[in-house]
């Protein structure tokens, strides 16, 4: 992939993540667990990881969390997003790199969702100085399976589209 | 879906079950139940919920007009209102078992129920 095409693709993916971020904030989600989110922006992280590699995806994660915080004005949640996003990226990178024979995009994305939740609980635990927040962990783990599975499915479709028709 | 995906999903379900047992079923009802309210990581107030006779409310006001209202009844406590953006601490509802907590991160207000703490027993004394 040429460098202009690459820069453009990264920019489009960041924009896509920001749009998903805003759209997700508009969807009313029934209250299940504190901190429960669909994590639609993770679709972009998974897709970028398979499309490029670790460093480009890290750039996308940093850009989307930074601009996402500016866009929604939720600056206090910036640290959760950034730590959760990087944590999830590292785990997905390791799983996709080392367990590629056994694990498909779906498993990678589920592990990413799990890591995202654990990363956010860690930040919350450090900020309020109590690791009692981990009592939410079982519910967040179960929801991570569902959201991770969904994110994996959408990423697969998106990757197929990008590889087939847009970026050669 | 490959075999590894199924293994991952099963492991996560097992992890959820294990952490559920660890965090939620361990907590047995104690003879005294103390709610602890912390603001900015500092202890604001401790309330023995067994001693509450009449329900009452506490209002915690902080700079910038931020407030949290806490409702205390016998044997239970909840964050009944707050003007933070997502009101997660309010949605948690009543807390009545040791280990449960309601957290308002933007205002850094935390309500937890302590397990009845006992003084550590002395193993032995040497002179």
> Which H helix or E strand runs over B3?
helix B3-20
State the alpha helices, DSSP H only, in A27-136: 42-51, 54-72, 78-98, 105-128
Task: Give the model confidence (pLDDT) of A5-59 as tens digits.
Answer: 889 989 999 999 999 988 887 777 665 566 677 788 889 999 999 888 899 999 9
By Cβ distance, the residue of B2, B41, B101 closest to A103 is B2
pLDDT of residue B120: 47
Q: Regarding predicted confidence, which is higher, A80 or A158?
A: A158
Nearest partner of A20 among A79, A60, A76, A80, judged by Cα: A60
pLDDT at A103: 87
pLDDT at B119 over 90: no
Token pair 């790199």: residue: A97
Tokens of A142: 């179960």
Look up the pTM and report it.
Answer: 0.68
Alpha-carbon distances of A68 from A21, A74, A154, rounded to whole Å: 7, 8, 21
What is the signed CA dihedral for A85, A153, A18, A136, rounded to 10 degrees? Answer: -40
Task: Look at A102 and B99 and tell me if their CB atoms are within 8 Å.
Answer: no
pLDDT at site A168: 45
CB contact under 8 A, B2 and A107: yes
Which residues does chain B have within 8 Å of residue A110's beta carbon, measured at their own beta carbons? 5, 8-9, 12
- Chain B contact for A74, CB < 8 A? yes
B85 touches chain A (CB under 8 A): yes
Of A59, A32, A31, the closest CA to residue A45 belongs to A59
Q: Are A21 and A72 in contact (CB under 8 A)?
A: yes
- pLDDT cut 70: percent of chain A above it: 90
Choose the weakest-confidence range: A113-117, A140-144, B37-41, B111-115: B111-115
Q: What percent of chain B is predicted at pLDDT more than 70?
A: 83
Mean pLDDT on B10-37: 78
Task: Identify which has the larger pLDDT, A1 or B111.
Answer: B111
Q: Does A129 touch chain B (CB under 8 A)?
A: yes
Residue A88 is predicted with a pLDDT of: 92
Cβ pair A135:B101 closer than 8 A:
yes
What pLDDT score does B28 carry? Answer: 53
What is the tens place of the pLDDT at every residue in B8-20?
899 999 998 888 8
Rg (CA), chain A: 16
Predicted ipTM beyond 0.95: no
Distance from the B78 Cα atom to the nearest Cα atom in chain A, whole angstroms? 15
């Amino acid at each position: 992939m040429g460098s202009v095409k690459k820069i453009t693709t990264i920019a489009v993916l960041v924009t896509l993540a920001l749009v998903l971020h805003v759209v997700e904030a508009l969807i009313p989600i029934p209250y299940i667990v504190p901190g429960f989110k669909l994590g639609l922006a993770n679709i972009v992280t998974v897709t970028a990881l398979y499309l490029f590699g670790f460093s480009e995806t890290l750039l996308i994660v940093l850009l989307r969390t930074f601009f996402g915080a500016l866009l929604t004005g939720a600056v206090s949640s910036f640290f959760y997003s950034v730590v959760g996003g990087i944590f999830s990226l590292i785990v997905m990178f390791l799983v996709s790199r080392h367990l590629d024979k056994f694990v498909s995009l779906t498993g990678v994305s589920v592990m990413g969702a799990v890591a995202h939740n654990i990363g956010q609980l860690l930040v919350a635990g450090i900020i309020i100085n109590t690791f009692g927040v981990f009592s939410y962990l079982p519910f967040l783990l179960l929801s991570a399976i569902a959201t991770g599975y969904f994110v994996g499915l959408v990423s697969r479709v998106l990757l197929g589209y990008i590889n087939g028709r847009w970026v050669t | 879906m490959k075999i590894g995906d199924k293994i991952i999903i099963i492991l996560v379900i097992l992890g959820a079950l294990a952490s559920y047992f660890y965090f939620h079923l361990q907590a047995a009802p104690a003879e005294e139940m103390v709610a602890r309210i912390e603001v900015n990581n500092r202890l604001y107030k401790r309330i023995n919920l067994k001693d509450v006779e009449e329900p009452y409310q506490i209002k915690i006001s902080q700079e910038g007009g931020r407030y949290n209202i806490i409702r205390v009844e016998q044997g239970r406590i909840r964050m009944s209102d707050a003007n933070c953006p997502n009101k997660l601490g309010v949605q948690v509802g009543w807390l009545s078992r040791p280990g449960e907590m309601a957290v308002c991160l933007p205002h850094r207000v935390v309500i937890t129920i302590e397990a009845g703490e006992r003084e550590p027993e002395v193993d032995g004394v040497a002179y």
